[in-house]
Amino acid sequence: MATKQNSKPIAGPTIDSATIERLLIARQGDPFGVLGQHQVGDVDVVRALLPSALAVEVISSDGEARSLGTLTKIHADGLFEGSVGALQAASADSPAYRLRITWPSANGATSVQETDDPYAFGPLLGELDLHLIAEGRHHALGDALGGRIATVQGVTGARFAVWAPNAQRVSVVGEFNGWDGRRHAMRRRIEAGVWELFVPGIEAGTRYQYEIVGAHGGLLPLKADPVALTTDLPPATASRVSDGMAFTWTDASWMEGRAARHAPDAPIAVYEVHAGSWVRDMEHEGRSFNWSELGGRLIPYAKSMGFTHLEFMPVMEHPFGGSWGYQPLGLFAPTARFGTPADFARFVDRCHEAGIGVILDWVPAHFPSDAHGLAQFDGSALYEHADPREGFHQDWNTLIYNFGRNEVRGFLIASALEWLERYHIDGLRVDAVASMLYRDYSRKAGEWVPNIHGGRENLEAVAFIKELNTVVDERCPGTMMIAEESTAWPGVTLPVSAGGLGFHYKWNMGWMHDTLRYIEEDPINRQWHHDDMTFGMVYAYSEKFVLPISHDEVVHGKGSLINKMPGDDWQKHANLRAYLSFMWTHPGKKLLFMGCEIGDYKEWNHDGSPDWNLLDQPLHKGLQQLLRDLNHLYVSSTALHEKDSDPTGFAWIVGDDRTNSVFAFRRSGRDANDVVVVVANMTPVVRTDYAIGVPSAGAWVERFNSDAAAYGGSGIGNQGMVHASDAAKHGMPASLRLTLPPLGVLILEPEVSGHGKTLLV
């Protein structure tokens, strides 16, 4: 390499006292303009700010560690400067020089450290990266920003980059510099508002945060990295340097075939889980299980129960466990509560190996105002709106993302892709979509700002959602985007190209509220609430729906699902068996929260877990068996899922028998012979010789009976088979006369359908 032969000494400091003062109080906005190597006249000068250091020598970076000059301490607080000779030119394989630093040690001794100078390295992010960040189109922010292990000019260390356009100075602080913001001030890339720095020698797992002098000159609380891939275990707030999570996936066949598993004609039965409380280790003070332990228990359980997917309440890092993850700050990092990012990836891989998909709840609507988080990140309203009428969620005491800002939209879209691409997640259930769509959500008159047309619609949020779903479809085909949207906003699951929001499925909150209101009534009163069970079919095909019985229905004083049911303990179980049977045969994909399948009496508490000991009791064991059989029947019977989104797949047979609280309907698949008939008796009265129309005469198999003795029922039914006459009824060419069990649901199919034997009668 070419070298510059230059060793002229310098007489004194070559920078003015004001610059020195700014360095020493960490207010120098351009540290690279002062520190590192600089040409002063015809002399090469190196400056280093190393508080507490005793001596600093510049040495060659060619492996021989030759002395190139000694730096003089020009300020007592640790600013060193000196001329150097024979300085080689920096190259792609090596920086121009290294530093040999003498530090004080215990008992008056000293220690010597040889290291590369962070200020000897050039810019890190390329112009394309910066351009895409500024436009909000950098879809791999998890690789471009954050604290990542990197090799720069042949040197291994950590590359830090953070978006803070209005900051006056940003430093990375951590264990490696005593959390001293003077030591590692970052370079500002003004074209994108990004600050960056390469710190040699740092290893994966090193703790760090950002020390920021804000837009108005004040020092902010230390900030966690918004794009950290790994974090400290809460309540600690530091981020950790990531090695990018090198992980060897074994799920290629799953990934290739999952699009068919997520299609509107596929069976989708989701088990919603809070990872920290599904089961606890009571031998160790009730601690939560980690991902490895959950994999050994939850995956085989979900598979044995016949669920096709697991859906986790948010696993993105969040400071307060009591938020259940719905107030996240680490949108790129799996929470450290259950293990490392690689542990989480391994769990997903094991799910796919078992034939189970993984859905995550994801929260782009709002974020908490914790001082170490996104709030006022650079001393200005950066991620949030400045106006509280737009930027503050009154219901949740949180801040609302500014969807109109390119970089914020890009941040959120990159977060979604992080989970879908890096972790092979099969779908995201987007939380609180209604709160995003309406500017007046949960606000009184005068508490919100109209859109540019004077309306209540949040046009920026709508544009963000459409862009999000478009990008996901392009980059992650076969995944699902699911909206928790509680209003009648049109076209939620219509493609963006057709004017819709572009989600694949929507939670049917209306169906859930109506049917729960019905089933909570004493059976004697249900005749007056009959429409609550039938109204859902009026709009069942307006969207592609998931029928959700989620955690929201068993918290905040709402009680457990089984305790919503009227009557004594037997009737509670019978009502719940009937309700779940009605739900599993109704058009729409299914979702059930953990513990509901065993009739847990307790309202869900994130600090506890379902009472699995209840399975020692026959009624609870029977309820679990019923749900298991429903899942397997739902998956195996194409009539129960192929036309979930096709109105030709459903027809009422009996929809108006209010007096008897009886419902009967037909479900069918694409094959004309693929038919089942469902009959529900929602009273505790046995109804004999009840006539209903059916599509064909002949033998009909009683494939399922929710009142079966094995489920804890009374065992009343039709001995497994009944014959239909050719007497027309209910607009059908044939009819059956049935015995309807109390608080029971029957599923019948013609014997010729060939779907197999009766499950339980």
Could you read off the pLDDT of 346-376 as tens digits, one per residue? 999 999 999 999 999 999 999 999 999 999 9
> What would the pLDDT profile of 468-499 be if each residue is shown by its tens digit?
999 999 999 999 999 999 999 999 999 999 99
* 607 is known as an active-site residue: no
Query: 7: pLDDT confidence band, cut at 50, 70 and 90?
Result: low
Q: How far apart are CA 316 and CA 334, in angstroms?
A: 5
379 Cα distance to chain centroid: 27
Where do the H-state alpha helices sit in 136-290? 141-144, 252-261
SS3 189: strand
Assigned token pair, 315: 């696993």
Fold assignment, 3-120? Immunoglobulin-like (2.60.40)
Q: Residues 60, 68: contact at Cβ < 8 Å?
A: yes
Q: How far apart are CA 481 and CA 501, in angstroms?
A: 10
The pLDDT of residue 157 is above 70: yes
304, 355, 584, 632 from 629: Cα distances, Å: 10, 18, 11, 5
* DSSP label of 452: T
Sheet with strand 187-189: strands edge to edge: 146-152, 155-163, 194-200, 187-189
* Catalytic residue (choose from 431, 460, 597, 600): 431
- Look at strands 110-116 and 98-104 and give their pairing: antiparallel
Burial level of 689, CB count in 10 A (0-12/13-18/19+)?
exposed
Q: How far apart are CA 61 and CA 152, in angstroms?
A: 14
Query: 93: pLDDT confidence band, cut at 50, 70 and 90?
Result: confident
Where does 470-629 show beta strands of DSSP type E? 480-483, 505-507, 545-549, 589-593
Give the pLDDT mean for 600-611: 96
> What would the pLDDT profile of 547-578 be if each residue is shown by its tens digit?
999 999 999 999 999 999 999 999 999 999 99
Which helix (H) or strand (E) segment is 474 a member of?
helix 459-475
* Catalytic residue (choose from 484, 485, 514, 642): 484
The pLDDT of residue 434 is above 90: yes
Sheet with strand 662-668: strands edge to edge: 650-657, 662-668, 675-681, 744-750, 698-705, 721-724
Q: How far apart are CA 626 and CA 619, in angstroms?
A: 10
| CATH 2.60.40.10, domain 127-240, yes or no | yes
> What would the pLDDT profile of 300-344 be if each residue is shown by its tens digit?
999 999 999 999 999 999 999 999 999 999 999 999 999 999 999
Task: Name the nearest CA neighbour of 290 among 247, 352, 342, 236.
Answer: 342
Q: How far apart are CA 244 and CA 709, in angstroms?
A: 54
In this structure, how many other beta carbons lie within 10 angstroms of the beta carbon of residue 179?
A: 16
Task: Name the nearest CA neighbour of 148 among 251, 43, 245, 252.
Answer: 245
232 Cα distance to chain centroid: 18
Where do the H-state alpha helices sit in 262-340? 291-304
Q: How far apart are CA 720 and CA 622, in angstroms?
A: 19
Q: How far apart are CA 205 and CA 211, in angstroms?
A: 19
Q: How far apart are CA 516 and CA 547, in angstroms?
A: 12
Backbone φ and ψ of 43, nearest 5°: -115, 135
- Average pLDDT over the chain, rounded to whole? 94
The pLDDT of residue 90 is above 50: yes
Q: How far apart are CA 640 and CA 647, in angstroms?
A: 13
Burial level of 86, CB count in 10 A (0-12/13-18/19+)?
middle
> What would the pLDDT profile of 261-283 be if each residue is shown by its tens digit?
999 999 999 999 999 999 998 88
**Residues in CB range of 218: below 8 A, 6 or more apart:** 379
Assigned token pair, 616: 């020692």
**Residues in CB range of 262: below 8 A, 6 or more apart:** 268, 357, 426, 427, 478, 479, 480, 504
Fold assignment, 641-753? Immunoglobulin-like (2.60.40)
Q: What is the per-residue pLDDT for 92?
A: 78
Q: What is the per-residue pLDDT for 89?
A: 77
Q: How far apart are CA 671 and CA 673, in angstroms?
A: 5
Q: Please report, for the chain, how many H helices and E strands are present, in that order.
A: 14, 40
Q: What is the per-residue pLDDT for 261?
A: 97
List the end-to-end C-alpha distance of the chain, in Å, as a whole number: 86
The pLDDT of residue 759 is above 50: no
Assigned token pair, 104: 């004080």
Q: How far apart are CA 197 and CA 185, in angstroms?
A: 8
Task: Name the nearest CA neighbour of 747 among 656, 682, 664, 669.
Answer: 664
The pLDDT of residue 591 is above 70: yes
Query: 5: pLDDT confidence band, cut at 50, 70 and 90?
Result: very low
Where do the H-state alpha helices sit in 2-42? 17-24
**Could you tell me how many residues make up the chain?**
761
Where does 289-379 show beta strands of DSSP type E? 309-312, 316-317, 330-334, 357-362, 366-367
Q: What is the per-residue pLDDT for 54?
A: 94
> What would the pLDDT profile of 119-142 be if each residue is shown by its tens digit?
999 999 999 999 999 999 999 999
Q: Residues 741, 681: contact at Cβ < 8 Å?
A: yes
The pLDDT of residue 761 is above 50: no
Give the CA-trace dihedral at 685, 686, 687, 693, to 10 degrees: 110
> What would the pLDDT profile of 369-381 be if each residue is shown by its tens digit?
999 999 999 999 9
Query: 58: pLDDT confidence band, cut at 50, 70 and 90?
Result: very high
- Does pTM top 0.75 for this prediction? yes
* DSSP label of 725: B
Q: What is the per-residue pLDDT for 756?
A: 44
Q: How far apart are CA 628 and CA 618, in angstroms?
A: 15
Give the pLDDT mean for 379-390: 96
- Domain map (residue ranges) of the chain: 3-120, 127-240, 641-753
Q: Residues 40, 15: contact at Cβ < 8 Å?
A: no
The pLDDT of residue 6 is above 60: no
Q: Residues 746, 705: contact at Cβ < 8 Å?
A: yes
Give the CA-trace dihedral at 679, 684, 688, 692, to 10 degrees: -20
The residue ranking higher by pLDDT, 284 or 203, is 203
Peptide bond into 235 cis (omega under 30): yes
Side chain identity at residue 574, one-letter code: A
* 431 is known as an active-site residue: yes
Where do the H-state alpha helices sit in 13-104? 17-24
Q: What is the per-residue pLDDT for 598?
A: 98
614 Cα distance to chain centroid: 31
Q: How far apart are CA 138 and CA 128, in angstroms?
A: 9
> What would the pLDDT profile of 657-693 be if each residue is shown by its tens digit?
999 999 999 999 999 889 999 999 999 999 999 999 9
* DSSP label of 418: I
> What would the pLDDT profile of 698-750 be if each residue is shown by its tens digit?
999 999 999 999 999 999 999 999 999 999 999 999 999 999 999 999 999 99
Where does 682-732 show beta strands of DSSP type E? 687-694, 698-705, 721-724
Give the pLDDT mean for 195-211: 97
Q: What is the per-residue pLDDT for 284?
A: 84
Which residue in the block uniquely carries the two structure tokens 């309700």? 579
The pLDDT of residue 8 is above 60: yes
Which residue in the block uniquely carries the two structure tokens 């332990």? 293
